[in-house]
Each structure stands twice: as C-alpha cells, then as structure tokens.
Structure 1
Amino acid sequence: MALLQVNSLKKVYTTRFGGNHVQALSNVNFSVEAGEYVAIMGESGSGKTTLLNILAALDKPTSGDVLLGGRSMAEIKEREISAFRRENLGFVFQDFNLLDTFSLKDNIFLPLVLSGNHHEEMEKRLKPIAKNLGIEELLNKFPYEVSGGQKQRAAVARALITNPQIILADEPTGALDSKATDSLLRLFGEINEAGQTILMVTHSVKAASHASRVLFIKDGEVFHQIYRGNSSIEDMYGKISDTLTLLTTGGKNHE
C-alpha cells in the first residue's frame, strides 16, 4: 500500500462575494511509496501550492481524498489536525519559518515541546540529527546569527526530529545561494537514502533533478511524470527541461 494516496482531488475557490469560481485543482491522482523522493513542478498558477496546502492538512479539497498511511485526512477532526501534522508531517519552507527570538535548538525542539515531550527525550533525538546535518556547533546561535544555508539545515532538523512519515518541502532552495543549494540537495539525498520519504514542490530544475520521480502539474491535473531509474542527474535535468518546454508551449505529452 502506498504511503500517500491522492484520489481525484478537486479544489474550487469561490471569490469573496460568490460571483466567480476559480478551479485550482481539477482531477489530481497520484501516489507516493514509502522511501520515495518526489518533486512536483508546474507553472505559476498550475495548482502546486494548493495541492501542497491540502497535503499539509492546511486546506480541504472540494472533492476527492488524501490518505496518509491508509488514513483519510477527511476523517481527522478539526481539533486533532494540529497534532496530526506534528506527528506525521515534517515541513521545510523557502523562508525557513524560524523564530528569531528562539535559538536554533529551541526552534528545532518546538514541535516536540508542543507535543509534550520531555527534555531528555528531545536532547536524545537531537544529538544524531545535529551531527548528521553538521549543525552541532550552531545550536545555541539565533537565526539572525547564521547563514541561509545553516538556517535551512536547522529547518530540516526541525522537520526530522518528530520522525515524520513524510517531509513536505516548499521551494526549499528558493532563498539559498548556489553553494547552499548544492549542500541542501546533497543532504536531502542522504536523508532519502536513509529511508525518509520526501515530497518537494519546486520551480528549480536543478532541485527537481535530484528526485527519484518528478510530477508535472498543468491546469490542475498531473500532466506527466518522469522516473529517474538509472538516469544521471544531468540526464534528469535535460528530461525535466524538455517537459517544462512542453508545458509552457502547450505541446502534447508523450509518455
């Protein structure tokens, strides 16, 4: 059984006075297996952000369903949503979403604090993660004292510390320079090789070329997908670029 199952997802927004309907998603179907590293791409306005918000349980679909670990998100009660997110989902954002008044360590601990974990347990979980991410010496610093790449590593640590079923990454390289981007993509590869499932929404061909599969969204539907297989990152980059050209020129997809 797939870890994440997306079935016939549709999302229609109604404007403030109810006069117009905007269809963000029309019929999205795909699944993600445990241990996969999947990137989602598409032009602005294609529905990527809407899709991510629904997968993150931040928005509800008009119709269709999302199942995580076999559990339908539609069945989760409103009062349980926050706990469900903390226990099952790890988030990595473009702008890091770190609190400047908290040290990096306290930022990383935040989801565990909200879940009521004991301090000893939090320290025990943090030690191997901080070592693997190379941020052991930075934990007592504040976000404004470290680089963008270091902030993003702290954000990855925060996402990992809850042992999530899946990491949802929203343009994780968007605010990073090329060196920090390369470092983060290597890190994501290592995390994935260790068994962590990752779903990343990105505009970056470079970032997507590191994934094992890329889904392309067009007009609110999955238009095409590419599997890495034995392809190199360079080959994957070329295939993604060609598919994006098809998307923007309105060409027909050929599987």
Structure 2
Amino acid sequence: MSLLEVNNLKKVYKTRFGGQEVEALRDVNFAVEEGEYVAIMGESGSGKTTLLNILAALDKATAGRVVLQGMELSGLAEKKIANFRRDNLGFVFQEFNLLDTFSIEDNIFLPLVLSGKKYSQMSEKLKPIAARLGISEILKKYPYEVSGGQKQRAAVARALITDPKIILADEPTGALDSKASDELLRLFGEVNELGQTILMVTHSAKAASCAGRVLFIKDGEVFHQIYRGDSTNQSFYQKITETLTLLTQGGNQ
C-alpha cells in the first residue's frame, strides 16, 4: 500500500455572487510511496494549491478520497483533524509562518508544545535536527533577527521535529534568493535521502528538478508525470521545462 493515495478527487467551489460553480479539481488520481520526493507543477489556477490544501486537511474535497497510511481524511471527525495534521504532517510555507514574538527555538517547539511534550524531550529532539540544518547558533534569536534562508531552515526544523509521515511544502523557495534557495533544496535532498517523504508544490523548474518525480496539473487534473530515473538535475530540469512548454502550448491551441 502506498503512503498517500489520492483517488478521483474533485473540488467544486461556488462563487460568492451569482452562485456559479467553479471546478478547481475534476478527477485527480495519484499515489506517493514512502520515501518519495514528488513535485507538483502547473500554471496559476491549475488547482495545485487547492490540491495541497485538501492533502493538508485544510479544505475538504467535494468528492473522492485522500488516504494517508490507510487513514481516510474525509472520515476524520472535525475535532480530530487538528491532531491528525499535527501528528502526521509537516509544513513548509513560502512565507515561513514563524511567529515574531517567539524565538526560533520556540517556533520550532510549537507543534510539540501543542502535543504536550516536556521541554527536556523537545530540547533533546531538536539538537540533532538543528545541527543538521545549521541553525544551532540562532535558536535563541527571533525571526526578525535572522535571514530569509535561516527562517526557512527553522521552518524545515519545525516540520521535521514531529517525525511527520509526509512533508507538504508550498512554494518553499518562493521568498528566497538564489543562494538560500539552493541551500534549502540541498537540505530537502538530504532529509529525503534519510527517508523523509516530501510533496512539494512549486512554480520553479529548478526546485522541481531536485525531486524524484514531477506531476503536472492542468485544468484540475494530473495532465502528465515524469520520473527522474538516472537523470542529473540539469537533464531533469530540461525535461521539466520541455513539458511545461508543451503544457502551455496545449492551453493556447
């Protein structure tokens, strides 16, 4: 059984005025195996953010199923969703989502605090993660005192500290300069090699070229997918850009 299974997923919104229906997702099907690193790409409005929100249990599908390690998300009671999200999912956002009134350390600890862990337990768990991500020296600082790259590494640490089944990353390099982006993608590669499953939504072909597989979303469906195989980052990048060109041309015909 796959770690994550998405079957016949559909999402329909009603517009605020006029009550017209907008089909954001129409028939999405894919699976993610444990330890995979998958990127999702598509033009603005293709449905990829809606898909990520449903996978994150932040939104509910109109129809279809999302199953994470045998547990169907639509079957969760409302009061259990927050606990499910905290215990099973790690999040890395474009804008970091760090609280400025909390130190870097306390931001990272937050999901463990919410689950009732003791400070000594949290501290021991953070040490190896902080060392691996190179943020041990900034743990007592506040988000406004560190760089964008350091903020994003703190966000990755916060995602990893709960030992999530899967990390969901939403445009994680979007607010970073090229150097910080390269560093974050290197870190993602390292944690993936250690067995962490990652699902990343991105506009960046360079970011996607670091993944093992890329899903292309078009008009609310999985239009195409390509696998890295033995490709280098550069050759995989070329395959991705060629596919994106075909995707765009197909939409203009």
For residue 238 of structure 1, what is the aligned residue in structure 2?
Answer: 238
The letter of the residue matching 1:227 is: Y
The letter of the residue matching 1:148 is: G
Structure 1: how far apart are the matches of 2:158 and 2:89? Answer: 11
After superposition, the C-alpha distances for 1:96-115 in whole angstroms (9 at most, x for unaligned) are: 00000000000000000011
For residue 169 of structure 1, what is the aligned residue in structure 2?
Answer: 169
Residues matched between the structures, number: 252
Runs of 4+ residues deviating >4 angstroms: none
The letter of the residue matching 1:45 is: G
TM-score (structure 2 length as normaliser): 0.98
For residue 143 of structure 1, what is the aligned residue in structure 2?
Answer: 143
Structure 1 runs not aligned, ≥5 long? none
The letter of the residue matching 1:247 is: L
For residue 119 of structure 2, what is the aligned residue in structure 1?
Answer: 119
Structure 2: how far apart are the matches of 1:83 and 1:117? Answer: 14
Q: Does 1:5 find its partner at 2:5?
A: yes
Shift of 1:17: 4.2
Give RMSD over aligned pairs.
Answer: 1.0
SS of 2:128's equivalent? helix
TM-score (structure 1 length as normaliser): 0.98
Structure 2: how far apart are the matches of 1:152 and 1:19? Answer: 39
After TM superposition, the structure 1 = structure 2 runs for residues 1-255 of structure 1, keeping only pairs within 5 Å, are: 1-17=1-17, 19-250=19-250
After superposition, the C-alpha distances for 1:6-38 in whole angstroms (9 at most, x for unaligned) are: 000000001124521000000000000000000
After superposition, the C-alpha distances for 1:89-129 in whole angstroms (9 at most, x for unaligned) are: 00000000000000000000000001111111101110100
Structure 1: how far apart are the matches of 2:54 and 2:74? Answer: 10
Shift of 1:200: 0.1
Shift of 1:147: 0.3
Structure 2 runs not aligned, ≥5 long? none
Structure 1: how far apart are the matches of 2:181 and 2:15? Answer: 37
